[in-house]
Amino acid sequence: MTSQNPVSRSTRSAAIVGAGQTGVTAALGLLDAGFTVTLYSDRDQRSLRDDVPATGTALEFGVTQQAELALGLDTYTARAPRHTGLSVRIAGPENAELIAFDGDFDGYVGVAVDTRLKADERLTAFQERGGVFVVGQVGLDRLDAIAAENDLTLVATGRGGLSELFPVDDARTVYDAPQRSLLTVTVTGLGFGPDVFAHRGPAGGAHSGFSIFAEHGEAWWGPYLHKDAGPSWAFLGWARPGGEWDRRFSAADSAESAHRVVTELYRDHIDWDLPEVSRTEVIADDPHSWLKGAVRPVVRVGVGRTASGHVVGALGDTAVAYDPIAGQGAQSGLIQAQRLVAAAAVHEGAFDEAWLSSRYAEFLAARSDAASRATRLFLSDPELGPVAEQFFAAAAVDPRFASALVGLLHEPRPILGIETAADAAAYITRVTGQSAADLLARFEPAGRFTRSAYAGALTSA
């Protein structure tokens, strides 16, 4: 099936395979840059919106919003509930309550938008402006023909399927297996005012809540814009493989059961947030408002060749798959798309292997290498243990460093070059203007986190 509203714009043609958020953003950007663009999908537009789950929470911060603005696209900051900071709780062995801090976002906000909504609206705009949308399976043979017909071909089909066309970059790929199993569910029933999660800090429901357990995994709540329900909340949990949380997550088989798993998890482990969690309700009209699985973080070579030798570029999760713990996947994909569109718009030569390789190398240096390292920090990677130990303790003592630490989700490049405890101390001193040793000497374990007294709970669970 083909949907089009043809407009003759250019002698240059581009094809994008994959109509998720990143693929359709690149397609719309190239179309507006003067290319004739064909977008391929294995699902029609209605199915893309209503028959699949959202691929994560797609939380985006200032740098990514700037990339969308550069493409003339809606950043959703006027429509989605805003994240103005991140409230963190860290529990050690035997769930000892150790570290609590609130980090404010400095000069930017975060928004988490249903990827199905964003892709759907951009796909509509793409077709209205003259883009060609083709529905059907694209395997290696068809990709070969598509690449032969177009000046520029990009693959944005996610972590499966055509991603195997792009070899794994062993030097940049640290893990040989997923580091967490994942569970996510989107819910309603809570507002975003200061009375919600007030025990975590004065910002209340304007801050995301992140809880880290050394023995179990991590749990996150944050404001969200659902495609149908509108302003809502999303839970995303990460379980260490083989542990108790992993077994709980594996039992989920519907939105209702996922919600029950989450509520019981908070009852048994994260009771300081339980009243708010107990207030939440499943989005009954969206059976795909939940998702479970696992992601192996992988960096691939950004350029591949089809059977006949035609060059194609990897885009988004096809190029780099992140564990979603630090929210870097959607952000990096959109940044990569914007950078490619900007470069293609002014390029006058062939979109050959040298050009695609150079653009990919620039993206890795500008975003992906740092984003991968920030993700490892929040995954409690043992190699970064000496850095994390100082960073999280410093955040509990000094609000300036708390803001800098959560700011790595927005702009991760400061994490590059911080390899040792001495490097971490130097960065703490640079951010706070005081000796890291003196600051860390003031750290004291939390002892017991403040519990919620939220009065809106539906049940006491």
**Residue range 52-73, pLDDT digits in tens:** 999 878 899 999 999 999 999 9
Q: What is the distance between the alpha carbons of residues 36 and 355, in angstroms, rounded to a whole number?
A: 19
- At residue 461, does pLDDT exceed 70? no
Other C-beta atoms closer than 10 Å to the C-beta of 47 total 12
Q: Which percentage of the chain shows pLDDT scores above 70?
A: 97
5 — pLDDT class (breaks 50, 70, 90): very low
Residue 10 confidence (pLDDT): 58
Least confident stretch, 17-26, 53-62, 149-158, 192-201: 53-62
- At residue 6, does pLDDT exceed 50? no
Spatial neighbors of 370 by CB under 8 A, at least 6 apart, are 412, 413, 414, 415, 416
Other C-beta atoms closer than 10 Å to the C-beta of 50 total 16
What tokens does 103 get? 């980090």
**Residue range 103-122, pLDDT digits in tens:** 999 999 999 999 999 999 99
**Chain center to CA of 89:** 20
Residue 83 confidence (pLDDT): 95
Pairing of strands 132-135, 36-41: parallel
What crossing angle do the helices spanning 385-397 and 369-378 adopt, rounded to 10°? Answer: 70
4 — pLDDT class (breaks 50, 70, 90): very low
Q: How many residues does the chain have?
A: 461
Question: C-alpha distances in angstroms, 96 versus 86, 99, 212, 269?
Answer: 21, 9, 11, 11
Q: What is the distance between the alpha carbons of residues 199 and 142, in angstroms, rounded to a whole number?
A: 56
455 — pLDDT class (breaks 50, 70, 90): confident
Residue 315 confidence (pLDDT): 98
Mean pLDDT of 409-422: 96
Residue 55 confidence (pLDDT): 84
Q: Which percentage of the chain shows pLDDT scores above 90?
A: 94
- At residue 459, does pLDDT exceed 60? no
Mean pLDDT of 157-171: 93
- At residue 8, does pLDDT exceed 50? no
Global pTM reads 0.94
**Residue range 288-346, pLDDT digits in tens:** 999 999 999 999 999 999 999 999 999 999 999 999 999 999 999 999 999 999 999 99
184 — pLDDT class (breaks 50, 70, 90): very high
- At residue 3, does pLDDT exceed 80? no
Q: What is the distance between the alpha carbons of residues 414 and 325, in angstroms, rounded to a whole number?
A: 18
- The angle formed by the CA atoms of residues 68, 334 and 135, to the nearest 5 degrees, is 105
Q: What is the distance between the alpha carbons of residues 111 and 60, in angstroms, rounded to a whole number?
A: 5
**Residue range 188-238, pLDDT digits in tens:** 999 999 999 999 999 999 999 999 999 999 999 999 999 999 999 999 999
Residue (of 276, 216, 327, 310) closest to 461 by Cα position: 276
Q: What is the chain's mean pLDDT, rounded?
A: 95
Mean pLDDT of 389-406: 98
